[in-house]
Structure 1
Amino acid sequence: MPLAISLIAPSSFTPEDDIERGVRGLESLGVTVRRPAPLQRRTRYLAGDREWRLAQLHAAYADPDTQAVWAVRGGFGCAQLAAGIDWARLAGRPKPLVGYSDLTALLHQCHLHGLPAIHAPVVKAAGALLDGSADERTVVRRQFEETLALIRGSASLDYPLTAWHDAPSRREGPLVGGNLITLASLAGTPLASRAPPGALVILEDVGEPYYRLERALWQLVQAGALDEAGAVCLGTFEGCRPYDETPLEAIVAETLAPLGLPFYHGLPVGHGLHNRPWRYGATGVLEEGRLSVAG
């Protein structure tokens, strides 16, 4: 079935060449990309001021000819939009919001307001379909094809991961989470997330030293964001820098210990090459070294 998406720039500014490559990458998969002209009206490091980006978001949902609203990139700025979103207006055309990283703030809000959301590669990443190595193109193509299947609503997916030490062999619950630093930055605000009972909380990040990751996770723990969670699942932490020989998993285990919360690691989700999509709020089952999610 032909698929059309509305392209939005809700966060940081993106160079035009990167946008063009990403759009052509999606088009190589048969996707029609609809975007406003101009897509961006640069304000500092943002794609536009708050009103510009908010109007773009509303217009994307209002387009009757698209099946998803897909962000060109993350960065910073999505949380600024949440208070101004007309959720009733978006609910009139409940298509999924697609993206990750800074989009974490809006994916969570979409879920709370009963709208579909997909944590998945941003459009900019589709440029690798055109000029990456053969192996890279294979990995990226699979991830975008899985994302398109989720947009169509027809995908059942499973992902490998590893239990840390005495983690139980089976857990089941809704998938939530996203970028760790973004989630921590929302603590204490009206946008703060709180994992629903039994939730499998997926966390990932990029370019952060371990002490900042520990601080962010500690903040979520102390804020009560994980009090009712069933487990934490670590994705990739691309370019994140250790302080000494202590692995990140050991730091996470120590930080989660007061909650008695088990965790798993090795999930192929995050800012690296491997960033497989998942539907926000879908029920996942952790069992035998796999996370399975029904379509």
Structure 2
Amino acid sequence: MSRLAQPRSTVPRPRRLEPDDVIALVSPASWSDEPWVAQSVATVESWGFRARVGHHATDRLGYLAGGDRERAADLNAALRDPEVRAIVCLRGGCGSFRLLADVDTDALRADPKPVIGFSDITALHQVWHLAGVPSVHGAVAGARAGTVRRLLIGERADPVRSDSGRFGAELTTGGTASGALFGGNLEMLARGVGVVDNDLAGHVLLLETHREVGLGMVDRALTQLLMSGALDGITGVAVGALEGFEDYEDREWTVLDVLRDRLGSLGVPVLAGLPLGHLENPVSVPLGVECELDADAGTLTVAPLAA
């Protein structure tokens, strides 16, 4: 697979959605069951849009929603369909990374439309970022799902506020930062090193993670991003959910010690305790658009997604 690099041309931002526009629902990673698909369709239609479910959205091949060819076909069909104005990923899980070389980036640049998802979908966010097209880190689920609708119709979402009672909030330093917001799941960002050529200079980095194999995964992922130069020139860090690490300790260190040690070398403002990522009711935020991070006030304010 050839390395994916930043395009030279400027791409227009996606247009804001209007009533009766089509939103595609696809499964580029793991499969979704019929009740979850039906619930997602109902949510999209309650917003006044038409839902179009991918042909292979409920296929199953182990933990994948069918074969790579079929998952890529659904994603590219949505990119090439002029009626489709946004793409919702029904779930994360595993498998998005396999599709990076197959995404029709020419179609994406010719007709920009946001992709919505998080966790494993961070792999696709990197493709959208390289294509110069904003996307949405979040989900069409939970009590805050309506934020996605507001973003799609061109509204500016409310500032995301840090919760001092949320695990990890004590990582917050002080100061302010600005720049385009980009990032997502820590492991997926690290896996992209050497595959996607993200230039994050001048960006505010968004990070969220969840515990699978202990603190070593967090340490290795952050070290890989640092040593590869992927984080050179970032202006600030916004830290979301650190799911599963609340009561976890390894030889007297917690995930907070690892993050302080690794992020501290960047010398930039850090705002933590944000309700982003693996949560029951996550907040959704645009990626690839300007933001203001205010660690003193505890807020992350992001510009509108659509033109």
TM-score, scaled relative to structure 2: 0.82
Q: Which runs of 4+ in 1 moved over 4 A?
A: 162-166
Cα displacement string for residues 68-118 of structure 1 (whole angstroms, at most 9, x for unaligned residues): 011111111112111122211222321111111111111121121122311
Preserved contact between residue 200 and residue 231 of structure 1 (Cα < 8 Å): yes
* Displacement of 1:43: 2.3
Aligned to 2:12: none
Aligned to 1:242: 248
Deviates more, 1:233-242 or 1:264-273: 233-242
* Displacement of 1:265: 0.7
Mapped partners of 1:17, 1:74: distance in 2:
16
Mapped partners of 1:110, 1:147: distance in 2:
17
Relative contact order, CA 8 A, sep 6+: which one is greater?
2
Aligned to 1:63: 81
Aligned to 1:232: 237
Alignment size in residue pairs: 276
* Displacement of 1:229: 0.8
Q: 1:148 to 1:184 in 2, by over 3 A?
A: same
Name the aligned partner's letter for residue 155 of structure 1. R
Give SS of 1:157's match: coil
Name the aligned partner's letter for residue 221 of structure 2. A
| Correspondent of 2:134 among 98, 106, 116 | 116
* Displacement of 1:165: 7.0
Mapped partners of 1:145, 1:251: distance in 2:
34
Aligned to 1:257: 264
1:9 aligns with 2:27: yes
TM-score, scaled relative to structure 1: 0.85
Name the aligned partner's letter for residue 276 of structure 2. V
Aligned to 1:293: 302
* Displacement of 1:166: 8.2
Name the aligned partner's letter for residue 175 of structure 1. L
Deviates more, 1:47-56 or 1:214-223: 214-223
1:151 aligns with 2:159: no
* Displacement of 1:25: 3.4
Mapped partners of 1:29, 1:166: distance in 2:
36
1:88-237 matches, within 5 Å, as 88-121=106-139, 123=140, 126=141, 140-141=142-143, 143-161=144-162, 167-187=173-193, 189-197=194-202, 199-208=203-212, 209-237=214-242
Structure 2's unaligned 5+ residue stretches are 1-17
* Displacement of 1:214: 2.2
Aligned to 1:130: none
Name the structure where helix makes up a greater proportion of residues. 1
Structure 1's unaligned 5+ residue stretches are 127-139
Mapped partners of 1:254, 1:30: distance in 2:
47
Preserved contact between residue 194 and residue 224 of structure 1 (Cα < 8 Å): no
Mapped partners of 2:129, 2:39: distance in 1:
30
Name the aligned partner's letter for residue 93 of structure 2. G
Preserved contact between residue 160 and residue 290 of structure 1 (Cα < 8 Å): yes
Q: 1:172 to 1:216 in 2, by over 3 A?
A: same
- Taking only aligned residues, the RMSD between alpha carbons, in angstroms, comes to 2.2
Percent identity among equivalent residues? 33
* Displacement of 1:10: 0.5
Mapped partners of 2:124, 2:277: distance in 1:
17
Aligned to 2:67: 49
Preserved contact between residue 130 and residue 198 of structure 2 (Cα < 8 Å): no
Q: 1:257 to 1:169 in 2, by over 3 A?
A: closer
